[in-house]
Amino acid sequence: MASIAPSGAKLYWHLSGTAENQREQEERWDQTIRDMGETVACEFRTSVMKTVDDHICDSFAEVNERLKVIRSSFTETQRKLSEDRALLVEGLAALQAGV
């Protein structure tokens, strides 16, 4: 159905008005289509980024909870070394990401 509307609109423009008006109408129509495409692409990109970010945050929270459970069986020294290593890895990841 969507393909009928543009064809119908162009036919109407060709049957009415001057050639200059027709050209202007077609340019506006084409610009509207480009603008809509950019809007949809931007909204899609934003939605995908949010979904991925939410999933990553949830996954890391789950991993951190599991690490806490595992660390509870460590000696104090092992637990401290494990926590220090986690902080180093986190810092390295931030540096690589350019944060």
Q: Which domain covers residue 8, as residue numbers?
A: 4-97
pLDDT in tens, 1-20: 445 556 666 666 566 667 78
**The two structure tokens encoding residue 43:** 């909204």
How is 29-70 classified by DSSP, letter by letter? HHHHHHHHHHHHHHHHHHHHHHHHHHHHHHHHHHHHHHHHHH
Closest CA to 99 of 59, 90, 55: 90
Predicted TM-score (pTM) of the model is 0.48
76 or 21: which leads in pLDDT: 76
Q: What is the count of structural domains for the chain? A: 1
The pLDDT of residue 80 is above 90: yes
- Using DSSP, state whether 88 is helix, strand or coil: helix
* Residue 76: predicted pLDDT: 93
Instruction: For residues 42 and 65, give the distance between their C-alpha atoms in angstroms, rounded to a whole number.
Output: 35
